[in-house]
A and B are shown apart, each in its own frame.
Chain A
Amino acid sequence: MEETNAQEGKGQRTIKFWAGFILGFLIVALFFSLSLPCKSKQLSKEAICGASLNGIGKGVVFYARENNDLYPPDLATLVQAGNVPSGMLLCPSSGTERATTTRPADIEAHCDYIYVSGFDSNPSGDLIRAFELPANHGQEFVNVLYVDFHVKGTKDMNVFAGELQRLNDYIAEERGAER
Chain B
Amino acid sequence: MKKKTSPFTWGVAISLLAGAVFFVGLSVFLKCEDEHPFQSQMTLSIEQIRKVAGAVADYEKSNQRRPENLEALVKAGLLSSGDLFDPKRSPSSDSNPDLLYFPALRRTDPADLVLLCTITTRKRGGSLLAVMNDYSTVELTPQELRAALQRTYSYLGGQIGRNFSGSNSR
| Chain A residues within CB distance 8 Å of chain B | 13-14, 16-25, 27-29, 31-32, 35-39, 67, 69-74, 77, 96, 108-109, 111-112, 114-120, 132-136, 138-140, 157-158, 160-162, 164-165, 168-169, 171-172, 174-175, 178-179
Contact = CB atoms under 8 A, between A and B. Distances in A.
28 contacts: A16-B8, A17-B8, A17-B10, A23-B11, A25-B16, A32-B23, A35-B27, A37-B27, A39-B34, A70-B163, A71-B165, A73-B166, A109-B147, A112-B146, A114-B150, A117-B153, A118-B161, A133-B149, A135-B128, A161-B42, A161-B119, A165-B96, A165-B97, A165-B100, A169-B69, A171-B104, A172-B102, A179-B60
A24 B162 contact: no
B15 A23 contact: yes
B166 A74 contact: yes
Contacts of A25: 15-16, 18-19
A interface, over-half SS: helix
B162 A169 contact: no
A67 B10 CA distance: 70
Tell me whether chain B's interface is mostly helix, strand or loop, or mixed.
helix
Nearest to A67: B165
B31 interface: yes
Contacts of B167: 73
Taking each of A35, A37, A71, which has the highest tally of chain B beta carbons within 10 Å of its own beta carbon? A37
B111 interface: no
A20 B68 CA distance: 72
Nearest to A113: B146
Top-5 shortest CB links A-B = A20-B11, A73-B166, A118-B157, A28-B19, A24-B15
Contacts of B20: 28
